Structure 1
Amino acid sequence: MDLTMDLSIRKPEQRIKQQSQPYVLIPPAVQQRVMQQT
């Protein structure tokens, strides 16, 4: 759990650059809702 949290916290910028999506930092549950709505 610590490793996953650490990666999520340390590499948010990389994720934003790679995906370029506004809801990258939003929790998975919310991401799923956004994906479904889209």
Structure 2
Amino acid sequence: MSEDTKSKSVWGIVLKVIITVATAIAGALGLGACK
């Protein structure tokens, strides 16, 4: 049980990081396109 919960929390963190990075990249590209 503990291992399953651990992997789930890890995947949650990974997803949050990916979304954050993707948003940052999209914002940077958007600003670059505007200029």
Higher relative contact order (Cα pairs below 8 Å, separated by 6+ residues): 1
The TM-score bracket by the shorter chain reads 0.3 to 0.5
Normalised to the residue count of structure 2, the TM-score between the two structures is: 0.34
Higher helix share: 2
Structure number, greater radius of gyration: 2
Which TM-score applies when normalising by structure 1?
0.32
